Structure 1
Amino acid sequence: MARPKRQQERRAQLVEVARQIVVERGVLALRLTDVAKRAGLTPASVLYYFSALTDLLKEVQDQAVERFCSARAEAGREESDPRRRLVAMIRSGLPSGPDDELCRLLYELGTVARHDPAYAARYIDLCQRQVTLYVGILEAGAATGAFDLTDDVLSVARNLVVLEDGYGLHITMAVPTFDVATAERLLLGYAATATRCDLDPEVVR
């Protein structure tokens, strides 16, 4: 039996290998044999560390969700002006471009979430965590008078998260529908309308 430290290292290796393959080929093309071959193991050996390929992918998903949420929580944290925090938050929710690995990974794993309740639960958590971050920024802005919300704070926060997801998916498609600059401009436009506040990055400095 492998020692605990060795087990941990091997599990981490398999998670990284699976992550790489999902980003390269997509989750629907992932096979247990692909993971085993790249890791230098047999399929049976992979199943020693993860009882099924779906369990391995759940670990990939957990790590991706945590990385994304942690990065978003840091966006604009040091900004005292709620306008700048909101702009920073919006920017942090969009892919950096078509090849943004973390965003592509989350979108790919979202395919599985359409059919597996366990995966879907993680995406519900991902959504709720982002909504909570937006609610904090919007409430702070409303309290200081920087924002005059046109709708209840939860609705505005949810709309921002869903718009980010939609634009982000189109940015990372094989043939992008939007570029990052256009998506950011459209998101800021909605946020400006919803908060009755000028959020032009050239103004909000």
Structure 2
Amino acid sequence: MGRPKTQTDRRLTLVAAAESMIAKRGLAGVTLRDVANEAGMSSSALLYYYPGLKELLDDVQKKAVERFCTQRASSVAAIADPRARLRTMLESGLPTDPDDQLCRLLLELGAYSRSDASYAARHITLFERQVAIYVGILEAGAATGIFKLSAASEVIARSLVVLEDGLGLHLVNVVPAIDHASALAILTSYAELATGCSLG
């Protein structure tokens, strides 16, 4: 990696290096020394910016959550038809393949939320922001008569995000239990039942 000039640049370089190492080794296999080597700096230099691995991973999680939610919101923002918006939203919630670095990263970091309150809070934020996007799509479709919702929009939205998370875990396994097309078909099938509408 090139030598960044500012503290912000160096922090971003370290976050990117940590993301790369988590994707290669999984969260449990990452050390500060690994991250420093990946970033092209010494462990002591890394400690100038982050006092420990937890603080670095805090930044990694914050940036990953923001990036993922922003990407999902942006993917549907300009789409007027509720069916097309819902289709696009469903597609954006699943890992594209086992090497999908951002989805792998979020799933790995999600495991930390069982033991750390700050991680849990950000994981809840990730969940709720995705639910809110789905609720907007579902309510717009219901308001125009295109969707006939089988339950409250929030219940359907929460179910869709939970389904995405479960299917996503299977998709990023070393030996995936399901392929992307099948996972998307399962998600779409539930969405069609919940909205009373074919999504094509």
Query: What is the alpha-carbon distance in structure 1 between the residues aligned to residue 39 and residue 176 of structure 2?
Result: 32
Query: What is the alpha-carbon distance in structure 2 between the residues aligned to residue 80 and residue 41 of structure 1?
Result: 48
Query: What is the alpha-carbon distance in structure 1 between the residues aligned to residue 196 and residue 38 of structure 2?
Result: 53
Identify the residue that residue 203 of structure 1 maps to in structure 2. none
Could you tell me how far 1:138 is from its partner in structure 2?
0.4
Identify the residue that residue 14 of structure 1 maps to in structure 2. 14
Residues 144-163 of structure 1 mapped to structure 2, 5 A cutoff: 144-163=144-163
Query: Where does the alignment leave 5 or more consecutive residues of structure 2 unmatched?
Result: none
Could you tell me how far 1:152 is from its partner in structure 2?
0.8
Residues 10-159 of structure 1 mapped to structure 2, 5 A cutoff: 10-159=10-159
Query: What is the alpha-carbon distance in structure 2 between the residues aligned to residue 36 and residue 73 of structure 1?
Result: 33
Query: What is the alpha-carbon distance in structure 2 between the residues aligned to residue 163 and residue 64 of structure 1?
Result: 20
Query: What is the alpha-carbon distance in structure 1 between the residues aligned to residue 39 and residue 184 of structure 2?
Result: 39
Query: What is the alpha-carbon distance in structure 2 between the residues aligned to residue 116 and residue 196 of structure 1?
Result: 40
Partner AA of 2:166 in structure 1: G
Could you tell me how far 1:119 is from its partner in structure 2?
0.8
> Normalising by structure 1, what TM-score?
0.92
Deviation beyond 3 Å, 4+ runs, structure 1: none
Q: Does structure 1 residue 189 correspond to structure 2 residue 195?
A: no
SS at match of 1:140: helix
Q: Deviations over 1:5-30 (max 9, x none)?
A: 62222212111111110111011011
Q: Deviations over 1:128-174 (max 9, x none)?
A: 00000000000000000001111111100000000011101101101
Query: What is the alpha-carbon distance in structure 1 between the residues aligned to residue 77 and residue 195 of structure 2?
Result: 20
Partner AA of 2:122 in structure 1: R
Partner AA of 1:44 in structure 2: S
Query: What is the alpha-carbon distance in structure 1 between the residues aligned to residue 14 and residue 114 of structure 2?
Result: 24
Report the number of matched residues.
Answer: 196
Alignment root-mean-square deviation, CA: 1.2
Q: Deviations over 1:67-91 (max 9, x none)?
A: 1101100123222110111111100
Partner AA of 2:25 in structure 1: R
SS at match of 1:75: helix
Query: What is the alpha-carbon distance in structure 1 between the residues aligned to residue 94 and residue 153 of structure 2?
Result: 21
